[in-house]
Amino acid sequence: MRPSPFGSVRVRTTVFATVVVATALLVAAAALVLLQRRSMIDGIDTSASNRAKDLSALVRGGALPRTVAVGKEDDAFRADRRRPRSCRRGESERQR
């Protein structure tokens, strides 16, 4: 009788169990990444939708402030109907 290329039953069982666990970990990791991605995109969509609704309510009510913060805290958007531009907070017309 020829010896098995994979050795004893113990070696074959260990290799099989290792492959099963590695596969399960890969599937779980992929599922976790996909679920986290979906959750983050849903959160961004909800946040953008709420922000748009808030801004449209301000426009309809005529209470739109001169600058509206967007993105990072240092960024702002000038609410000038003639020439809307984005600018940094504290930045004057001459600095641009």
Binned at pLDDT 50, 70 and 90, residue 72 comes out as: low
10-68 tens-digit pLDDT? 989 999 999 999 999 999 999 999 999 999 999 989 988 988 898 888 888 888 877 77
Nearest-angstrom CA–CA distance, 73 and 90: 12
Query: Rounded to two decimals, what is the model's pTM?
Result: 0.54
Whether the Cβ atoms of residue 58 and residue 51 lie closer than 8 Å to each other: no
The answer for residues whose C-beta is within 8 angstroms of residue 78's C-beta and 6 or more apart is 66, 67, 84, 85, 86, 87
